[in-house]
Structure formats: structure tokens, C-alpha cells
Amino acid sequence: MTTNSPIGCSAPQKALLAKLAKFAQTDAEVLISGASGTGKELYARYLHEHSNRATREFVPVNCGTLGGDLLENVLFGHVGGAYTSANSSTTGLVQLAEGGTLFLDEVDSLSIPCQIKLLRFLQDGEYRRLGEANIRRADVRIIAATNSDLLDAIEKGRFRSDLYFRLRVVPITVPTLWDRPEDIELMVQRFLEDSAREYGLPKAEISKPAMAFMRQYAWPGNVRELQNCIRYLTCLQLEMPAQPEDLPLLERLPGQKSESEQSESVPTAGNPVTGQPLKEAKREVVAEFERRYIENVLRRAGGNISRAAKMSGKARRAFFELMRKHEIHAERFKNAAG
């Protein structure tokens, strides 16, 4: 991401930044969890930049690219002759991060042997370069991140519990974009400026209906999807403000059946009374009930989706998906409460 700091003024965002500010001044290990695209590295950088290590290096490494002896080589380096093709010595990322912060992204993807080597380093802060007898010490703060359920990985034998608890001194959970819709407009404005500068193009404009639609959209790809949406609109170079139909958003969420797939699953045997299959007739009745219920609760909530979801007893994301399913727009119910 091209932003320099996390964006937003929502309650979840303010609470998260306040928590990060408290722990920034310590050297405690931090484990950042969150869905893909939520900007976990951005929060890791925020921790680093607000710590007493800010004048030293922030070194990110994607653990998904490290396996076998590669982790030891990339993190700790090697001396010339350590293996056949090692003609000269190399400096590992740990040494580059001396006095600063080492960010281990996708830490869940490490192999078990890699996890053992990392745990050993975390426990005593000592390491050897490959092919070297001397023990070196490193003053490095470790921040790790994952978008996986590490407890589930532990139960399945894919992640060591001792490493998990060694990394999880300070657990941080980054909320999804869906959980903080109040931040979307601020992010859009920042990304409009960033994208225009990135591509050397005029800044795109967003219409009020498009912005309203963006606030209601589920954003399964989180902040990354929002940023790419704005990049698309910048490159599209429309001669007028972008409308909802111009937004390159998904028509359905990952894992959700398409309309054709749903219709194919309905039996073709006719019902002698209605002329429809029983399941199809039942689905129509349920759909009509859902539509009327959602419209009524939105009307009572004055078009406020979060309030309507709470009144209905459903999670906000699930409530919004019902709105999408029935093509219901919250704007129709603004100021309708009471």
C-alpha cells in the first residue's frame, strides 16, 4: 500500500491504534491476526514507527517464500563456502534489522523445521550464519502476522504451540473493512490521491450514489480490494464522476453460488397444485418474506444498516448479503424511522 499510516476514525480503528501506541514503546513480540487484505503490514510499520526503534530498519519478510534451509539462509546469512554455490558471504535479514524490527508475514506458512529454528532464535536472541562457528547476537524486535487460524493449525499439527505462545505476547486483531464502514470514505479520498500520483493521471471522481454503494458493499478483499477499485477507476479516466455501475466489484462473494447454479439445484418434478417443484415454491415464499422483513427493519432503522442488522439479530455482513440478494438499497429508507 502507498499510504504512510493506517487510515480511519471509526471506533474499531481508534481502539486498535490506541492499543498499538501503548505497546509500541516495548520490545514485546506481537502477533497480528486478520483477514487477507486488511493491511497487517501497515499496522506492523505503525508499531515500528511509534517505537524507540523508529530510527533503525523495518525489515519485512514473507515467510510463505521460505522453506527448508532457505529460512536459515535468508534470516541469518551464510559465509563463503557454506555450501557448493556459496562463493561469498551474505548478510541475513536479522543483521539488517539490528536495533530495529523484523516483520514475519504469513508466519503460518513456515515448515516445522523452520519453526524450530525461529523459536530457538526467539528464545535467546542468538544465531549462527550458515557455515560459521561463531555465535552472534541480535537486538531485533519480532512482529509476526497471519491470516490463518493458528489454533486450528496447532490442532492439525501444522504449527508448533510453543512458537505460537512465544510470538503471541501481544495479540492484535485487525478488523475487516466491513467492520468499519465509517472509514471507507476517508480511504477512498486517500487512495484517489495515491493512485493519481502513482499513475501520473488526473484524480478520479466518485459520485454520491457510488460512494453510498461502496459503504454498503461487503469488501471480501478488504482494504486491498478497495484500493484496487480506486486504481481501476483512476486508469479508466471517465469524463464524469463514477457511478455504482462503474465500480469493478464482485457480483457474488467467493464460495457463494451463482444464480444459474442455484436454479440448477432445484428439482424439475412439478407440484400438482402450484405447477412448481415444492422446493422452488418454498424458496419463493421465503424470499418474499425475507425481502419484506428486510425492508421493514431498514425502515424502522432509518436506513442505518448496522442498526437494522442488530435489530434483526443478524451479523452486519449476513444482513448486507440479504440486501444484495434482494437488491435492496438502504438509501430508500433514510430518515424513515418513526
Give, to the nearest 10 degrees, the angle between helix 316-325 and helix 305-312: 100
Nearest partner of 65 among 107, 96, 102, judged by Cα: 107
Which domains, ranges and CATH numbers included, belong to the chain?
11-175 (3.40.50.300), 179-246 (1.10.8.60), 275-333 (1.10.10)
Residue 114 reports pLDDT greater than 90: no
| Percent of all residues in the chain with a pLDDT value above 90, rounded to a whole number | 50
Q: b/e for 29-63, b at 16 or more Cβ within 10 A? A: bbbbbbbebbbbbbbbbbbbebbebeebebbbbeb
Would you state the cell numbers that stand for residue 246, as one nine-digit string?
462503474
**pTM, rounded to two decimals:** 0.73
Is 114 exposed, middle or buried, given 0-12, 13-18 or 19+ CB atoms closer than 10 A? buried
In 3D space, the residue among 134, 140, 96, 100 whose CA is nearest the CA of residue 118 turns out to be: 140
Residue 19 in contact with residue 194, Cβ under 8 Å? no
Maximum C-alpha span of the chain = 86
Distance CA 44, CA 58 (A): 9
pLDDT tens-digit profile of 92-109?
899 899 999 999 999 999
pLDDT score, position 117: 84
Please tell me the distance from the alpha carbon of residue 100 to that of residue 96, in angstroms, as a whole number.
Answer: 8
At a CB cut-off of 8 Å and minimum separation 6, what does 135 contact? 126, 127, 128
- Quick check: helix, strand or coil at residue 118? helix
59-91, pLDDT tens digit by residue? 999 988 876 667 778 888 867 645 555 556 678
Which pLDDT does position 307 carry in this prediction? Answer: 82
User: Among 57-66, 148-157, 190-199, which stretch is predicted with the lowest mean pLDDT?
Assistant: 57-66
Identify whether the C-beta of residue 159 lies closer than 8 Å to the C-beta of residue 108: yes
CA–CA dist 131, 264 (Å, integer): 62
Query: Is residue 296 over pLDDT 70?
Result: yes
In single-letter form, the type of residue at position 9 comes to: C
Amino acid at 172: I
- For residue 271, pLDDT over 60 is answered with no
Annotate 228-293 with DSSP letters as a single string. Answer: HHHHHHHHHT-SSPBPGGGS---SS-TTPPPHHHHHHTS--PPPTTTSS-HHHHHHHHHHHHHHHH
Locate 67 and state its grid cell: 522453506
Q: What is the pLDDT of residue 26?
A: 94
More confident residue, 13 or 132: 13
- Mean pLDDT computed over 33-38: 94
